[in-house]
Amino acid sequence: MMSELLDRLVRDFGVTDITERPPAITTLKVSKENGERLIRELRDREGFTHLNFIACTDWIEDGIFRLIYMLHNYDSKQNLGVHIDIKRDHAEMTSIHTLWAQAWTYQRELREMYGIHFPGSPRLEEDFCLEGWDAMPPMRRDFDTAKYSAERFGHREGRVSLVPRDHMKVQLYPNRGGDES
């Protein structure tokens, strides 16, 4: 059943990197151009009527964002993760809010956190979680959160950071100079 479907997807959409992940999750990868078409096909023909979530991973080394559309089929209880890679320097993807009305909420979040653009998605530019954010999207890996925090929120004088392991050694075995043996 599933393999037939996957065969057909390979044939029609050129999907690659099919991976089975228990329990009942299959992921596959598809090009950005075929992405929206594939998802529509899965929803309309193959019974994947439920959108679990849209997520994103920043593969900064590869210069891509990987979008993950997790779909669910109520009949076969199958989950299908559609991976779509988009370029970091041109972070844009077709909006799927026409397929699932709730998708625009995820897309708003992705816009805010990663700066990915979804043309046509409603209320995309509105603040989602951060109010009045004025810096680089914080979930991009090239965003230096510690630096940002130090600049914006300051640093409490006298605060020290300890390595828990070393600290606890000293705490627990003060007589042995922190040597646990």
Site string for other proteins, 101-130 (x = CB under 8 A): --------------------------x-xx
Which one of 146, 163, 174, 175 is in contact with other proteins (CB under 8 A)?
A: 146
149 binds other proteins (CB under 8 A): yes
Comparing CB distances to other proteins, the nearer of 50 and 123 is 123
Residue that has been written with the tokens 């075995």 in this structure: 173
Specify the stretch interacting with other proteins by CB under 8 A; choose among 18-26, 36-44, 132-140, 167-175. 132-140
Q: Does 155 bind other proteins (CB under 8 A)?
A: yes
Q: Can residue 74 be called a binding residue for other proteins (CB under 8 A)?
A: no
With vertex at residue 111, the alpha carbon angle to CA 41 and CA 52, rounded to the nearest 5 degrees, is: 40
The C-alpha torsion from 18 through 81 and 101 to 35, rounded to 10°, is -30
Question: CA–CA separation, 39 vs 46, rounded Å?
Answer: 10
For 91, other C-beta atoms within 10 Å of its C-beta total 21
- With CB under 8 A, what is the number of residues at the site for other proteins? 23
Q: Report if residue 98 touches other proteins, rule: CB under 8 A.
A: no
Contact predicate 9/15, CB 8 Å:
yes
Q: How far apart are CA 57 and CA 142, in angstroms?
A: 13
Residues that bind other proteins (CB under 8 A): 127, 129-135, 138, 143, 145-146, 148-150, 152-156, 158-159, 161
